[in-house]
Amino acid sequence: MIPFNIPAVTGKELSYIQEAISNKKICGDGPFTKKVAEWIEDYIPTKRALLTTSCTHALEMTAMLADIHPGDEVIMPSFTFISTANAFVLRGAKIVFVDIRPDTLNLDESLIESAITSKTKAIVPVHYAGVSCEMDSIMDLAKKNGLLVIEDAAQGVMSTYKGRALGSIGHMGCYSFHETKNFTCGEGGALLLNEESFVSRAEIIREKGTNRSRFFRGQVDKYSWVDIGSSYLPSELNAAYLYAQFDQAQTINDDRIASWNDYYAGLKELEQQERIDLPTVPVHCKHNAHIFYIKTKDLSERTRLLRYLNENGVGAAFHYVPLHSTSVGLKHGLFHREDRYTTQESDRLIRLPMYYRLTKDQIGRVIDMIYSFYAVSTANQFRTGVGLG
């Protein structure tokens, strides 16, 4: 059995959690919360990183910071996780879904401008599989039209676009540390504030609408209710676990990239034979191997291959059901123009097992199984391609 995902463990998690317990400080914003935030601020970098209880919550915070009100419109892909939309729907926004590009499965930047109206407030690019959207075009459009750009970089930690880290390019960016993501603490996230002007309000929103952060810094002599907000600050125990991952961030990233490259090299032949499509990574994007996916001919072939892999012990999985195909999606949003690629490409997609310390032998078995499904002999070219000998 090769599972789809195993949450990363680097070995220091327990000792850091023990340290947090010994500190007698396990609520949020203790030493480990600060260490992780500092890592993000230094490495990414961003003006300010706030650890949150999830990426969903980081997105909810951005909707408050963007002052989204009922009737406002927010542009995003339909090929994304529910939280991307929900965060804005909770504030009364209407979601305008724009089609994706068939190569990267990211928002098609050339279609965004025609979706902008006088009610549009924000564009939310989602960096699928940790591969960047075309951020230069998106930032130019936003500037021209006075819009905010909120990056859903849940999958994009340590990926870059023209050398700039995902999450640090828009006005705000959101990361996820859910157990399915590259760096994890089970449930967790971060909000990246790339403009100073959002920082003080974001601290308040994260602390239940109070100015408690300023109080603890001695900047006010009592704390009170000053804005809307919620409880978006994670526990020190989660932050301690997460710090053990960021301690080893480069190791985790390198290991995943090596696995991704092995899949790619091993499956190249099948793509050349036009049986499947492999992921596209534009030359100016550096990805983080969050997902390795292949695309089959169509939905029916996808269903058969998925069943074949699952029956043979490979935890392969499809991905998003487009949001506009659900009744909630239609109630709160509309698809701008034609759905040319969103449904078609999501129907063809299969994600293969991908996690820290996936072995070459496991990758080889998955690849062999895919070749055998297509009844193409793999024995020679794959094993030399991936170096199993």
* Residue 155 contacts ligand PLP per CB under 6 A: yes
Nearer to ligand PLP, 167 or 229 (CB): 167
Q: Write down the least CB distance from residue 169 to ligand PLP, Å.
A: 16
Nearest to 28 by CA among 222, 246, 190: 190
Nearer to ligand PLP, 166 or 366 (CB): 166
* Residue 159 contacts ligand PLP per CB under 6 A: no
Tell me the two tokens of residue 335: 């698809």
* Residue 296 contacts ligand PLP per CB under 6 A: no
Start-to-end C-alpha separation, the chain: 22
Q: Write down the least CB distance from residue 182 to ligand PLP, Å.
A: 11
Which residues in 311-340 contact ligand PLP (CB under 6 A)?
A: none
Select the span of 66-74, 78-86, 200-208, 293-301 touching ligand PLP (CB under 6 A).
Answer: 78-86
Which residues in 5-64 contact ligand PLP (CB under 6 A)?
A: 54-56
Q: Write down the least CB distance from residue 269 to ligand PLP, Å.
A: 30
Nearer to ligand PLP, 237 or 386 (CB): 237
Angle, vertex CA 159, rays to CA 155 and CA 160, nearest 5: 135
Nearer to ligand PLP, 80 or 259 (CB): 80
Nearer to ligand PLP, 81 or 292 (CB): 81
* Residue 81 contacts ligand PLP per CB under 6 A: yes
Q: Which residue of 10, 46, 62, 84 would you call a contact of ligand PLP, by CB under 6 A?
A: 84
Nearest to 335 by CA among 68, 70, 107, 138: 107
Q: Write down the least CB distance from residue 323 to ligand PLP, Å.
A: 11
Q: Write down the least CB distance from residue 80 to ligand PLP, Å.
A: 5
Nearer to ligand PLP, 80 or 245 (CB): 80
* Residue 152 contacts ligand PLP per CB under 6 A: yes
Residue 379: which residues within 8 A CB-CB, separation 6 or more?
none
Which residues in 348-377 contact ligand PLP (CB under 6 A)?
A: none
* Residue 151 contacts ligand PLP per CB under 6 A: no
Q: Which residue of 96, 126, 323, 350 would you call a contact of ligand PLP, by CB under 6 A?
A: 126
DSSP 248-269: THHHHHHHHHHHHHHHHHHHHH
**Residue corresponding to tokens 């600050």:** 233
* Residue 236 contacts ligand PLP per CB under 6 A: no
Burial 118-147, CB ≥16 within 10 A → b, else e: eebbbbbbbbbbbbbbbbeebbebbeeeeb
Q: Provide the mask over 170-199, with x wherever binding to ligand PLP is found by CB under 6 A and - wherever it is not.
A: ------x-x----------x----------
Q: Are 169 and 151 in contact (CB under 8 A)?
A: yes
Nearest to 96 by CA among 72, 71, 76, 110: 76
By CB atoms closer than 10 A (0-12, 13-18, 19+), residue 9 is: middle
Task: Give 133-137 contacts, CB < 8 A, sequence gap 24+.
Answer: 133/104, 133/106, 133/107, 133/109, 133/161, 134/106, 134/109, 135/161, 135/162, 135/164, 135/169, 135/170, 136/162, 137/109, 137/110, 137/112
What is the pairing mode between strands 164-165 and 160-161? antiparallel
Nearer to ligand PLP, 177 or 263 (CB): 177
> Interface with ligand PLP by CB under 6 A: which residues?
54-56, 80-81, 83-84, 126, 152, 154-155, 176, 178, 189
